[in-house]
Structure 1
Amino acid sequence: MVKFAGFFTVATLAALAASASAGNASYIGSVEVVRGDSGSERAQGKVFLDANRNSRFDAGEEGVAGVLVSNGLEVVATDAEGDYALPAYEDMNLFITKPAGYATPVNARMVPQFSYVHKPGGSPPLRYGGLAPTGPLPEAVNFPLIEDGVGDSFECLAFGDTQPYSNAEVSYVRETVGRLLATRDNSATACLLFLGDVMGDDLDLYPRFQEIVSVGGVPQYFIAGNHDFDFDASEDAYSFDTFRREWGPEYYSFDIGQVHFVVLDNVRYPCNGVDPHDFCDPSASTTYNAVLNDQQLSWLANNLAEVPEDKLIVVSAHIPLVTFTDADEQKHQTDNLPALYEILGDRRVLSLAGHTHTTEQILPGESFEGWQEHAGIEAAGFHKIIAGAVSASWWAGDLNDRGIPHATQRLGSPRGYYRLQFDGADYIDTFRTFDRPESEQLHASFNTPRFREWAGKLFAFTDSYPVPSEVLPPVTVNDLGDMNMLTRADLAEGTWVAVNVWNGSKESEVSVSINGGSAIPARRTQAGEGEAVLEGPDYADPLALAKQATQGRQTFRSAQGGDETAGYTTWQGYEWKSSVAGPFQDWMLTRKSSHLWRADLPSDLPAGVHRLDVATTDRHGRSFSETLVFEVVESLPEMAWRAGLWE
């Protein structure tokens, strides 16, 4: 396999993906825009079967009846000839809901072409260009389709927060998402869902990102996130204009099999002077808020009125509807969630989100303190998945064995994505990492008195000092010592196994056994019964925290690079540069987790080497396990080289 400097090149990825693309017989094309004076103030055109695949409605080609078309507010179905007409607005997305059994064209980078932006005057001046003036309303906007072979059984991959801020981090996307898509069998994969924060503020990086992701030969659907907007937009109406140019509408829907996919925009920017929160005050720094605007909610109600009740509705939005991670924060949960609940009614719904850089399973009936105050609901009404982040903790941390930052996520999961397998209106969700087999779904470590003392010192430091800092931290990962060596004092004072099940839910069952003995049930540290989020050394993930505690990469410096290549950068050029190897920032540390289980160890384990088997069964009945070997000792031996014996 040809590599360049240890990494895949885009050309190599494309070659690897050739078989998948050829099997897909990608339909490259566009929406047909017929220029001319229609003599009407209504948007009109045809949805048609593109027999010769030239993206033009030609003589002899047939219209497709019953296809939903929208202007972003009203929704109509095409008539028997495939024709539609809708009111036109000065700034609108005109789009179809791709019907099941059909495919829209994709562009050369596998982005579906199902929409037309009508914005006669274009965007105001924006750093990344926004939308060019579209001119008068076209005479017709025609939407081509072809029949496809995707039935009721298929899969989609969901990626949260790729969020590269630089070309260096786009390369990390190539080595994770690009490599994955180029080397896996995509024949059953009908869609890729990117759940927002596709980019990290620098929207000029979109084209390279698109080229990398296209190697899988799978249609890509994008959700707008709070790092995908034009930061220099003066009002929300312009904030996603560059996103619209590159990807398409901020909200839309499409059908595959028995699933109706709905993409929503719940990021208002700027919210200052619009939403009634302190952080949105006109005098506050320009920022965003999580809310669904009224026009979008009206569109959704109109859209769902045309969708059969027995279809599964998959709702994707960037900011979670509610979240465990930020349950006590208004900004990171959707303001007017009850309005969405009312529109969805009793339908069967799965929602997907990103934003928090965590994996979370929230099942119906689950509840945490803060939801009622900040999102207006007491408990979850349907299944919600927060799909983690490809960038995990923003591409931070030391490099793994593939040369990618480990960036362990805030609730302790590794970097990854979700595979959603649909069979009719049923589905199975699986969290996948980029470097481990599907059978690996958890990790386990020991929460000892020694760990709790160490973690308390670490937390006190990150609460008191900026990160990175030139202040020497009180502890590093080296001070934690051998995490799998337990003393009798550790056992007597309380030691338990902390099991992080990355895709765990309240329905997961977790147990441990020692030396083949009887299973010891583990209990979830957060019951999800309306309690507050619990955090601190007792609720931390020892193994995740050990990885997050000490980052040597921020101390790297060379004679050649000097300041320019010292440490590393993330976010908008924020420098992780220091002469001291310190931890992640306090809010990035795994002080808490909604998918952590605890099993207390017996206090009378004899000295010696022991085997610990950890097992979990998920909500779909699948079982996963891991084995640890640990030691019990009377007291900790000297762990360093005993130099005194050689003097």
Structure 2
Amino acid sequence: MPLRRPCFLLAAAALAACETVPVEPGSAPGGGTFRFADYRGGPEIVRDGNGGEEAVGVVFEDRNRNSRRDEGEPGIRGVKVSNGRDVVVTGADGSYAIPALDDMSLFVVQPAGYQVPHDTSWVPQFSYEHKPGGSPKPLRFGGLEPTGPLPSAINFPLIRTGAQASYRCAVLGDPQTYANQEIGYFRDSTVDDILDRGEAERPACVLGLGDMVGDDLGLIPRLAEVIGMLEAPQWWVHGNHDIDFDADYDRDSADSWRTLWGPNNYAFEIGEVLYVVLDNVFYPCTAEDAARPGRAFCTEDERKRYNARLTEDQLAFVEGLLANTDEDKLVVFAHHIPFVSFVDQTATAHQTDNVAELYRLAEGRKALSFSGHTHTTENFAPGDSFAGWQEAIGVEAVPFRHIIAGAASGGWYHGDFDHHGVPMALQRMGSPMGWLSFDVSGSSYRERYHGANTGHDRRMWLSVNTPVFRSWYGQIMDWRSRPEDQRDPVPPLSINDLPDVKIMTPRDLSRGTWLTANIWDGDSATRAEAVVDGRTLTMERTQSASGEEAKAGAEWADPFAVQRQLSVSRSALESRSGIPRNQGYEAYRGSSFGPQTPGPTGPVADRNMHLWRARLPEDLAPGLHRVVVRSTDRHGQVTEDSLVLEVRDRQPPPRFRTDVFDAREDGPPVR
């Protein structure tokens, strides 16, 4: 066989050839019709006092769906079972034996063509948590109670589903609900948007990419119940806001999660896809982490901190999974903190330290990375590269597609209310809160980001970057950068001070005015063009992903998002209710925002990897012009949006012309 060099060792220019799931224009799969059954139950735990040093049991076909192995119910051969480190495969009779670790999640890897049971909220029940002494100290959210000796048998029931060739999975980044109020916002935005698309587009599975809640793990049951309205198995990733913050060691930091949801490292199959869920949040990080450059915070900070890395057990788990998985399957790595990021391209804690080791294990495989954490939508094609990656984590370019799937919480539920009564909460690069559809056919797929309640066909924001906008932006951002105690409490400008950016003068055009398109899930293969008065303008992506640093500032900001992020009025809400916490609003761990003068808050889309722009012609004639923007993604899907621009000699007065109206009296009535 010819020698194959690992993709991650190739030069960035050559990496484009490493895309392992090619999708020709027009050939991408659509939302499938496969759905899982409402199969409730859980593992069969047998305790007769004969537990040993190995975990043993049978994976069986639960023909009567009672979660017990009854006479005539056969074992299932060739199913993977893991303790989170080792991976074994069941024998001809469905039996398995695997080393028992002192602290482990023992689970079955749901095989293609089968389904594990779930609870009443559709949370899969496929594991047994083993921690004989329980959590080493009382934890705020309960931790794990002592499990005692290993059961004599742990049997995993499955039912047959038939072919799973074509289906949709709803991918949710960071619901990050800190409070019950925010679960309501999530319900009325992302969950409502998915349900509103009808039965034909209902997902067969839900993949939650971590930060499911915001530090209050007691919210997990209600959140799971709300997501359960989708009537699809919901597989969750453990995030940095899902941890036991009062745990002293990483091995205990997911104990409450394991009680309330399930394992924090596991895998499952649907059709021709193996999903590998990895908890890459190492908390609290230690001297081992601090030994790497840029991670001194792990030991110098007075607070416990987390770092992003994979443990030896996790890498052994991945190696064992891949060794026992058909090479033609697509491998989807689902994790919370990105392997790499654009918006945090120089950060050490927010990218995964030793991901190069995982790249080596996956070399030659059809692979895909899904993550959340950054509250951005980022779609990296193989070969994409940004400055800072090499210094931060030793990676020059990505060897397979990496998708940061945005945030269902958007910009942490900040912003003014939309017409659904939900905070607008635009994300750090201006995408709306929402979800990503993952449409699978065989081992091919199509991804698409959906803004919650923004309309089923909308894929981008359009706006105009004018000289006046840049001046307005600069003055507010300069004020925002000063310490709060050293600046006027009232911002220098608000949205009321920004003239209509879609009205421009000949001088604006001569000084540089750009039409902008923030294409939420755009990537290196996305193409965009604008048609103005019959003229076609090619729109250029502001970032080329060829190893450069992030371009930030007024010239590279998304005017659509920034206008909404820099002048938020919700913080000014006050009442005479006498309830202090109802004044202004709260976010995060009960942090107060207001009551105060409206102003910028939350994230600001000052940089972007999915912004396209075209300079408007200086000779654009006076009058009105309809502009149509057409984007084509890597799957050949075309999306159009439009706006109307005006060219005037000068900006018309924006308010009611009282001077003109009051210049004359109405006169006496006619009798």
Tell me how far apart the structure 1 counterparts of residues 287 and 632 of structure 2 sit (CA, whole Å).
Answer: 48
Q: Does 1:207 align with 2:218?
A: no
User: Which residue, out of 602, 608, 621, partners 1:606?
Assistant: 621
Q: CA deviation at 1:505?
A: 0.6
Tell me how far apart the structure 2 counterparts of residues 23 and 100 of structure 1 sit (CA, whole Å).
Answer: 13
Question: What secondary structure, in the 3-state scheme, does the structure 2 residue paired with 1:26 have?
Answer: coil
Q: CA deviation at 1:60?
A: 1.7
Contact 1:354/1:388 (8 A) holds in 2 = yes
Q: CA deviation at 1:274?
A: 3.7
Q: Does 1:630 align with 2:645?
A: yes
**Aligned twin of 1:5:** none
**Aligned twin of 1:61:** 73
User: Which residue, out of 509, 530, 534, partners 1:512?
Assistant: 530
Tell me how far apart the structure 1 counterparts of residues 55 and 425 of structure 2 sit (CA, whole Å).
Answer: 48
Q: Does 1:179 align with 2:192?
A: yes
**Aligned twin of 1:591:** 606
Tell me how far apart the structure 2 counterparts of residues 24 and 360 of structure 1 sit (CA, whole Å).
Answer: 30
| 1:372-418 deviation line (CA, Å, top 9, x unaligned) | 11121101110011100000000001100000000011111111111
Tell me how far apart the structure 1 counterparts of residues 200 and 376 of structure 2 sit (CA, whole Å).
Answer: 26
AA aligned opposite 1:549: L
Specify whether residues 182 and 488 from structure 1 end up closer, same or farther in structure 2 by C-alpha distance, changes over 3 A only. closer
Q: Does 1:528 align with 2:545?
A: yes
Tell me how far apart the structure 1 counterparts of residues 218 and 485 of structure 2 sit (CA, whole Å).
Answer: 29
**Aligned twin of 2:144:** 131
**Aligned twin of 1:541:** 558
Tell me how far apart the structure 2 counterparts of residues 190 and 25 of structure 1 sit (CA, whole Å).
Answer: 10
Contact 2:51/2:149 (8 A) holds in 1 = no
Give TM-score scaled by structure 1 length. Answer: 0.94
Q: Which segment is superposed worse, 438-447 or 136-145?
A: 438-447
User: Which residue, out of 119, 134, 139, partners 1:107?
Assistant: 119
Question: What secondary structure, in the 3-state scheme, does the structure 2 residue paired with 1:519 have?
Answer: strand
Tell me how far apart the structure 1 counterparts of residues 585 and 288 of structure 2 sit (CA, whole Å).
Answer: 37
Q: CA deviation at 1:149?
A: 3.1
Tell me how far apart the structure 2 counterparts of residues 96 and 416 of structure 1 sit (CA, whole Å).
Answer: 31
Contact 2:36/2:204 (8 A) holds in 1 = no
User: RMSD of the TM alignment (CA)?
Assistant: 1.7
AA aligned opposite 1:327: Q
Q: CA deviation at 1:361?
A: 0.6
Contact 1:469/1:582 (8 A) holds in 2 = no
**Aligned twin of 1:556:** 573
User: Which residue, out of 521, 536, 549, partners 1:503?
Assistant: 521
Q: Does 1:473 align with 2:491?
A: yes
Q: CA deviation at 1:531?
A: 0.5
State how 1:169-318 maps to structure 2 within 5 Å.
169-183=182-196, 184-185=198-199, 189-276=203-290, 277-318=295-336
AA aligned opposite 2:563: A
Task: Provide the identity percentage.
Answer: 43
User: Which residue, out of 657, 660, 667, partners 1:642?
Assistant: 657
Question: What secondary structure, in the 3-state scheme, does the structure 1 residue paired with 2:636 have?
Answer: coil
Tell me how far apart the structure 2 counterparts of residues 380 and 547 of structure 1 sit (CA, whole Å).
Answer: 33
Tell me how far apart the structure 1 counterparts of residues 251 and 416 of structure 2 sit (CA, whole Å).
Answer: 40
| 1:10-37 deviation line (CA, Å, top 9, x unaligned) | xxxxxxxxxxxx9854000011110122
**Aligned twin of 1:435:** 453
AA aligned opposite 1:119: K
Tell me how far apart the structure 2 counterparts of residues 98 and 258 of structure 1 sit (CA, whole Å).
Answer: 12
Specify whether residues 205 and 168 from structure 1 end up closer, same or farther in structure 2 by C-alpha distance, changes over 3 A only. same
Contact 2:515/2:616 (8 A) holds in 1 = yes
Contact 1:150/1:256 (8 A) holds in 2 = no
Q: CA deviation at 1:563?
A: 2.4
Tell me how far apart the structure 1 counterparts of residues 659 and 281 of structure 2 sit (CA, whole Å).
Answer: 63
Tell me how far apart the structure 2 counterparts of residues 178 and 452 of structure 1 sit (CA, whole Å).
Answer: 36
Contact 1:33/1:138 (8 A) holds in 2 = yes
Specify whether residues 181 and 135 from structure 1 end up closer, same or farther in structure 2 by C-alpha distance, changes over 3 A only. farther
Tell me how far apart the structure 2 counterparts of residues 152 and 188 of structure 1 sit (CA, whole Å).
Answer: 16
Contact 2:45/2:153 (8 A) holds in 1 = yes
Matched residues, number: 624
Q: Does 1:325 align with 2:305?
A: no
AA aligned opposite 1:370: G
User: Which residue, out of 426, 429, 445, partners 2:444?
Assistant: 426
Tell me how far apart the structure 2 counterparts of residues 55 and 185 of structure 1 sit (CA, whole Å).
Answer: 29
Question: What secondary structure, in the 3-state scheme, does the structure 2 residue paired with 1:380 have?
Answer: coil
Q: CA deviation at 1:186?
A: 6.3
Q: CA deviation at 1:421?
A: 0.7
Q: Which segment is superposed worse, 356-365 or 208-217?
A: 208-217
Q: Does 1:399 align with 2:417?
A: yes
Tell me how far apart the structure 2 counterparts of residues 623 and 182 of structure 1 sit (CA, whole Å).
Answer: 24
Contact 1:470/1:579 (8 A) holds in 2 = no
Tell me how far apart the structure 2 counterparts of residues 385 and 101 of structure 1 sit (CA, whole Å).
Answer: 26
Contact 2:574/2:595 (8 A) holds in 1 = no
The structure, 1 or 2, with the larger RCO (C-alpha pairs under 8 Å, 6+ apart) is 2
**Aligned twin of 1:492:** 510
AA aligned opposite 2:619: D
Q: Which segment is superposed worse, 385-394 or 478-487?
A: 478-487
Specify whether residues 287 and 186 from structure 1 end up closer, same or farther in structure 2 by C-alpha distance, changes over 3 A only. farther
User: Which residue, out of 343, 355, 370, partners 2:373?
Assistant: 355
Specify whether residues 193 and 177 from structure 1 end up closer, same or farther in structure 2 by C-alpha distance, changes over 3 A only. same
Tell me how far apart the structure 1 counterparts of residues 301 and 377 of structure 2 sit (CA, whole Å).
Answer: 34
Question: What secondary structure, in the 3-state scheme, does the structure 2 residue paired with 1:189 have?
Answer: coil
Contact 1:66/1:82 (8 A) holds in 2 = yes
Q: CA deviation at 1:470?
A: 6.8
In structure 1, runs of 5+ residues without a counterpart are 1-21
Q: CA deviation at 1:73?
A: 1.1
Q: Which segment is superposed worse, 221-230 or 50-59?
A: 50-59
Contact 1:443/1:499 (8 A) holds in 2 = yes
Give TM-score scaled by structure 2 length. Answer: 0.91
Contact 1:446/1:542 (8 A) holds in 2 = yes
Tell me how far apart the structure 2 counterparts of residues 138 and 450 of structure 1 sit (CA, whole Å).
Answer: 71
Q: CA deviation at 1:437?
A: 3.1
Q: CA deviation at 1:477?
A: 1.1
| 1:224-265 deviation line (CA, Å, top 9, x unaligned) | 000000110011011011111122111111111111111111
Tell me how far apart the structure 2 counterparts of residues 140 and 378 of structure 1 sit (CA, whole Å).
Answer: 47
| 1:102-142 deviation line (CA, Å, top 9, x unaligned) | 00000111011111011011112100001111110000000
Question: What secondary structure, in the 3-state scheme, does the structure 1 residue paired with 2:206 have?
Answer: strand
Tell me how far apart the structure 1 counterparts of residues 286 and 274 of structure 2 sit (CA, whole Å).
Answer: 34
**Aligned twin of 2:104:** 92
Specify whether residues 508 and 193 from structure 1 end up closer, same or farther in structure 2 by C-alpha distance, changes over 3 A only. same
Specify whether residues 139 and 509 from structure 1 end up closer, same or farther in structure 2 by C-alpha distance, changes over 3 A only. same
Q: CA deviation at 1:211?
A: 1.2
| 1:57-115 deviation line (CA, Å, top 9, x unaligned) | 11221100100011111111000000000111110110111000000000111011111
Q: Does 1:37 align with 2:55?
A: no
In structure 2, runs of 5+ residues without a counterpart are 1-33, 664-671
Tell me how far apart the structure 1 counterparts of residues 488 and 438 of structure 2 sit (CA, whole Å).
Answer: 45
AA aligned opposite 1:135: G
Tell me how far apart the structure 1 counterparts of residues 459 and 194 of structure 2 sit (CA, whole Å).
Answer: 21
Question: What secondary structure, in the 3-state scheme, does the structure 1 residue paired with 2:154 have?
Answer: strand
Tell me how far apart the structure 2 counterparts of residues 555 and 352 of structure 1 sit (CA, whole Å).
Answer: 37
**Aligned twin of 1:4:** none
Contact 1:49/1:64 (8 A) holds in 2 = yes
Contact 2:54/2:98 (8 A) holds in 1 = yes
Specify whether residues 566 and 73 from structure 1 end up closer, same or farther in structure 2 by C-alpha distance, changes over 3 A only. same
AA aligned opposite 2:576: A
Q: Does 1:79 align with 2:91?
A: yes
